[in-house]
Structure 1
């Protein structure tokens, strides 16, 4: 995706025939708020200074009126941007932008974008003003000292080179995946397709698929290569070719989860109704409306025979296919096709077409509990709420928890046992999480935020305990 920006007529930015300057309008209404204007010098194209009028200034009260899909503004580093027209082309999906409409998005913008210089090119034409001098940099309900301390921590970590990836680390993980795939095929070639061999190769392919899930998660956050196009290609290779699922589907879903974790209705990962009711709000809502699609008081029990085995082969797999088809993600469809072609070529001669399809779904069925536990143990037991407009640090801390570090836990979870650090710094390579964890924990202690770190088996059990608690809330309101 490329973008060209030209400055004409005294420094106005032109994009698709639309001039964005001090008289920029939407729906025929001027954006200016009547504040005085002075002339300043502004950098253009990164090469020369061009005189132009100052930007319009806005109060937080004015900015917070623009929160709808058809009219959304956000603030980054005290600059006000109208992202309405850009939302449909946003690589992370339009909903991510709307989730921060009317808010300060400085920290989430920095967290989610690895290459700031490229993103700035997209931002410049969207600039419509800045915060008035008397306005604070964040909304008034936020703790400015906490925000400042977190931003200083991020700068410290950048100075420590914590956002630079060790390519050898990720190459070893990719090698592990490819060796497991090759080993499964060689065993099948040598011993034939008996039941014992089928079980062995299914387990090998399951480990390969699970580790592919973690590796695609790394590439999806653009944390491996310095050039985003290489991350993009690697993400396609791992997610589409090795796993058979859509990268665009994953991006649009997963980035919403990151920017607003455990927040209704912005985080799609907690939108699991009507099958499950999670948190404190949703069960009460269903109970008051006397909604009982399923016997929710037993949801902590049917979690074992519904959510665990069906998350990957049914829910995620079918949703990925549906999104690819309906939104016409042709590149993803082509890449995913190579996954099935590879399986049919490798295993078709032994199992036939139908048998190969069954093998694929058997592997996904075995992988599903693994991925379900890893992805849910750090969020389901944590706080879920409606939008409270918290600062970035607080938003992530209350919705995530860590799992104790060990060699096995690191490998088994793909380092997502450091969920707090991953959520605070999504573009940080996972091999650096353990290095920054003490600094994050110290900052949380300074501001009275609870930094939760628990044993892995306790975390598994907390999923079920949280579901049981939510079921009790539903029963209390449903039967009252």
Structure 2
């Protein structure tokens, strides 16, 4: 299997994005949308509070596994708002967005500063072999070049990564918690003291609440279900966006428009998909205009698609289930050389 690569632009394409950006700005799609975000944040807080009350009232009950599922969804929805704040989509000022981002990330148990830094690297060079941290995962290979570097246990995992991908997502939330704590302890982020305090409050408060309400066995199961499903939800929200799309090789330098469009995939669907994926289903528009408020992405989508069609730029979109199939097919194909018997 030969990994597809992003093709650099030919001829005079340097102004393409500028032309698109002018059209988007004239449409008013970069203006803040305070009311939708105020409603979303308020509803999220109320639902989290209601879930917390239900958790306490249920007490020592196996029904708490349903509250674990509920909290997995709610923590992820808080993480989505933290994502939007990290891109300055909510308020006009960086300070205001940071306050929202720190608060929402603290609920999810993730370092806001660490995640924003990592995510900005991804946005700058999506699917780039050397510069995108989202495809630099020790246990997975996203290109032929990466598959050849795997050794030991990671090589075995990469062989069967298509089968192991979704089960591995059960660990995604825990890995985010661990990396967040490491970033604070290593002072890899600017506000290490603030984030250290927020993460400490999250961990102590979370464990105290679970252990005060549930006996140890049920508490352990509650945590496993909650954290496991949160990881799956997060992973299934981010995976369709770029996995299986063309990889930008080390020596390729496409222009900004093509770099962002050709490496991303949109997920088609109605408002239900918008809610489920936190607006990440408009990945192409989001990558082109990261600060565009989430409610405006749906309106920007037809403008961007039409523009790309006029320029002959491939614009990828498909249904949610089809996107997962594409991801798994790509992972299976990349792992194929590792499954072949060694030749003497």
Question: CA–CA distance in 2 between the matches of 1:295 and 1:334?
Answer: 36
The alpha carbon displacement at 1:190 in A equals 2.7
Query: Aligned with 2:25: secondary structure?
Result: helix
Question: CA–CA distance in 2 between the matches of 1:223 and 1:479?
Answer: 54
Pick one of 447, 453, 461 that aligns with 2:311. 447
Structure 2 residue 295 is matched with structure 1 residue 431: yes
Deviations 1:41-75 (A, max 9, x none): xxxxxxxxxxxxxxxxxxxxxxxxxxxxxxxxxxx
Deviations 1:398-433 (A, max 9, x none): 211100021211111001110000011111011111
Change (3 A) 1:353 1:145: farther
Relative to total residues, which structure has the larger strand share, 1 or 2? 1
1:406 is matched with 270
Structure 2 residue 261 is matched with structure 1 residue 397: yes
Pick one of 386, 406, 418 that aligns with 2:249. 386
Correspondences of 1:125-204 after superposition (within 5 Å): 143=10, 145-196=12-63, 198-204=64-70
Query: Aligned with 1:385: secondary structure?
Result: coil
In 1, are the aligned partners of 2:72 and 2:226 still within 8 Å (CA)? yes
In 2, are the aligned partners of 1:300 and 1:468 still within 8 Å (CA)? yes
1:205 is matched with 71
Pick one of 232, 240, 260 that aligns with 1:377. 240
Structure 2 residue 144 is matched with structure 1 residue 280: yes
Change (3 A) 1:189 1:210: same
Pick one of 459, 468, 475 that aligns with 2:323. 459
Change (3 A) 1:438 1:194: same
Query: Aligned with 1:378: secondary structure?
Result: helix
Provide the TM-score with structure 1 as the length reference: 0.65
Question: CA–CA distance in 2 between the matches of 1:156 and 1:276?
Answer: 39
Question: CA–CA distance in 2 between the matches of 1:304 and 1:445?
Answer: 34
2:114 is matched with 249
The alpha carbon displacement at 1:341 in A equals 4.2
Question: CA–CA distance in 2 between the matches of 1:346 and 1:281?
Answer: 46
Question: CA–CA distance in 1 between the matches of 2:260 and 2:70?
Answer: 35
Question: CA–CA distance in 2 between the matches of 1:267 and 1:348?
Answer: 39
2:158 is matched with 296
The alpha carbon displacement at 1:254 in A equals 0.6
Question: CA–CA distance in 2 between the matches of 1:155 and 1:169?
Answer: 24
Pick one of 221, 245, 249 that aligns with 2:87. 221
In 1, are the aligned partners of 2:140 and 2:154 still within 8 Å (CA)? no
Q: If you compute each CA radius of gyration, which structure gives the higher value, 1 or 2?
A: 1
Question: CA–CA distance in 2 between the matches of 1:340 and 1:263?
Answer: 34
Correspondences of 1:55-134 after superposition (within 5 Å): none
Question: CA–CA distance in 2 between the matches of 1:347 and 1:282?
Answer: 41
Calculate the aligned-residue CA RMSD, in Å. Answer: 2.5
In 2, are the aligned partners of 1:281 and 1:385 still within 8 Å (CA)? no
* Structure 1: runs of 5+ lacking an equivalent: 1-140
Query: Aligned with 1:382: secondary structure?
Result: coil
The alpha carbon displacement at 1:456 in A equals 0.5
In 2, are the aligned partners of 1:279 and 1:380 still within 8 Å (CA)? no
Pick one of 220, 232, 237 that aligns with 2:103. 237
| Deviation larger for 142-151 or 244-253 | 142-151
Query: Aligned with 1:146: secondary structure?
Result: coil
Question: CA–CA distance in 2 between the matches of 1:292 and 1:169?
Answer: 44
Relative to total residues, which structure has the larger helix share, 1 or 2? 2
